Amino acid sequence: MATLGNSANIFWHECPVGQAERQKLLNQKGCVVWITGLSGSGKSTLACTLGRELHSRGHLSYVLDGDNLRHGLNKNLGFAPEDRTENIRRVGEVAKLFADAGLICIASLISPYQKDRDSCRALLPDANFIEVFMNMPLSLCEGRDPKGLYKLARAGKIKGFTGIDDPYEAPLNCEIELRQINGVCPAPSEMAGKVVSYLDSKGFLQA
Ligand SMILES: Nc1ncnc2c1ncn2[C@@H]1O[C@H](COP(=O)(O)OS(=O)(=O)O)[C@@H](OP(=O)(O)O)[C@H]1O
Ligand SMILES: Nc1ncnc2c1ncn2[C@@H]1O[C@H](COP(=O)(O)OP(=O)(O)O)[C@@H](O)[C@H]1O
């Protein structure tokens, strides 16, 4: 008998087919590529480009995008700090399940708070959580403003917007940092290539 969180009398049921067997089937190792950065920094673009690149190499991946998950799983959450924390906690748990399934799970969320990203990292063996920091300046993200949200935030029509009046805590321990080179943002394919090289070098692209 056990008590966990708010549940009492719950038990863990082990299934006969485990992660190792699923990984062998897929010829890859499950992991989480966690992309963090400001709105407009290119997280979704990188996630999709990486997903396409992995697919073309014969690897199974799945993208968990913050915006998309807020249409379903996280539709009851807003952007207050405690809601963002719950948002990241849920996605971290889902990402852990995908990694256990043997997939390369690509999570792309602002995930502005270090402690929340660290909590997601702590759910997995450390090497299996690959934090990718889109280190793009606010001026670039705001200049892009594809959804017009920075404009609304500057006008005070959105309160608590990340980078404007809500904090973004830059990662202290990321595995990959992507930034501008001589003031130019690398192409999405170039950035995805860096992540693929990392995954390959760490042995995730074989069982
Ligand atoms: N207040 C506020 N702050 C930041 N972002 C906001 C806000 N309100 C709405 N949006 C839109 O929501 C998208 C971010 O969702 P996330 O789930 O990734 O955010 S978080 O990780 O919980 O902070 C984010 O999408 P991206 O631009 O893809 O990052 C915005 O389009
Ligand atoms: N590497 C890049 N180079 C140039 N433009 C980019 C790049 N990555 C993304 N963009 C553009 O920047 C905008 C924001 O990208 P997006 O992926 O939606 O960012 P985020 O998911 O972080 O909000 C989009 O208009 C996108 O086309």
Among 29, 30, 34, 31, residue whose Cα is nearest residue 173: 34
- Provide mean pLDDT across the span 144-170: 98
- Provide mean pLDDT across the span 26-39: 99
Q: What is the mean pLDDT of the chain?
A: 97
Which residue in the block uniquely carries the two structure tokens 């799983």?
73
What are the residue numbers of the active site?
111
Pocket of ligand 2 from Cβ distances under 6 Å: 37, 39-45, 144, 146, 185, 187-188
Q: What is the ipTM of this complex?
A: 0.99
What digits encode the pLDDT tens for the residues 99-150? 999 999 999 999 999 999 999 999 999 999 999 999 999 999 999 999 999 9
Name the token pair of 202: 């760490």
In this model, does residue 181 exceed pLDDT 90? yes
Query: What is the percent of the chain where pLDDT is above 90?
Result: 97
Tell how far the Cα of 10 is from the centroid of ligand 2, in angstroms: 44
pLDDT for residue 116 = 98
Q: Number of helices and strands (H, E) in the chain?
A: 8, 7
Query: What is the percent of the chain where pLDDT is above 70?
Result: 100
The ligand that comes nearest to the alpha carbon of residue 41 is: 2
Spatial distance between the Cα atoms of 74 and 33, rounded to a whole number of angstroms? 20
Which residue in the block uniquely carries the two structure tokens 């070098």?
201
Spatial distance between the Cα atoms of 38 and 165, rounded to a whole number of angstroms? 13
In this model, does residue 75 exceed pLDDT 90? yes
Residue nearest to atom 8 of ligand 2 (CA): 42
Tell how far the Cα of 165 is from the centroid of ligand 1, in angstroms: 13
pLDDT for residue 2 = 74
In this model, does residue 1 exceed pLDDT 60? no
CB 138 within 8 A of CB 181: no
Tell how far the Cα of 62 is from the centroid of ligand 1, in angstroms: 20
Is the CB of 108 within 6 Å of ligand 1?
no
Residue nearest to atom 22 of ligand 1 (CA): 84
Tell how far the Cα of 161 is from the centroid of ligand 1, in angstroms: 8
The yes or no reply on domain 18-201 and CATH 3.40.50.800 is no
